[in-house]
Amino acid sequence: MTEDDGLDRAFAALADPVRRAIVARLSRGPATVNELAEPFTITLQAVSKHISVLEAAGLVSRTRDAQRRPVHLEAAALERLTSWIDRYRLEAEARYRRLDAVLRDAPQQENPNREKKS
């Protein structure tokens, strides 16, 4: 799987509000499927499918702890998404700073279509 494939899967997984809510809950610590399902009015099976999508995207993982199978947030995967976003955010900010400088240094011209105040 290429970096782009991983980003595509991660962003596609995060496109769903239920999955974003699950990621937000896991940011506070590991939880079981039952714990993750509590705030939702969907079936346990549906929550489990959402977790499977997040797992396939590499955003979460499951471990075995005796009878429990807690779900964990994969912070490194979120860091990759943040890094990708930051790269383009920084480029956009640099372009805006250059535009601000050009506009600041440009001679002010009166707009001929604008009505003159008397």
Query: pLDDT tens digits, residue range 57-79?
Result: 999 999 887 778 899 999 999 99
Q: What is the pLDDT of residue 64?
A: 85
Whether 36 and 22 have beta carbons less than 8 Å apart is answered as yes
For residue 37, being part of any structural domain is answered with yes
Q: Domain for residue 105, yes or no?
A: no
Residue 26 structural domain = 3-75
pLDDT along the chain (118 residues), means of 10: 81 97 96 95 96 96 86 94 91 91 83 64
Which CATH number goes with the domain that contains 51?
A: 1.10.10.10
For the purposes of burial, counting CB atoms within 10 Å of the CB of 109, is it exposed (0-12), middle (13-18) or buried (19 or more)? exposed
Tokens of 62: 């499951």
Residue 86 domain flag = no
State whether the Cα torsion 100-106-108-114 is positive or negative: negative
Q: Rounded to whole angstroms, how far apart are CA atoms 17 and 57?
A: 15
**Percent of the chain surpassing pLDDT 90:** 67
Residue 41 lies in a domain: yes
Q: 35 lies in a domain?
A: yes
Query: Please, are residues 9 and 57 in contact by the beta-carbon 8 Å criterion?
Result: yes
Show the beta-strand stretches assigned E in the chain: 60-62, 71-73
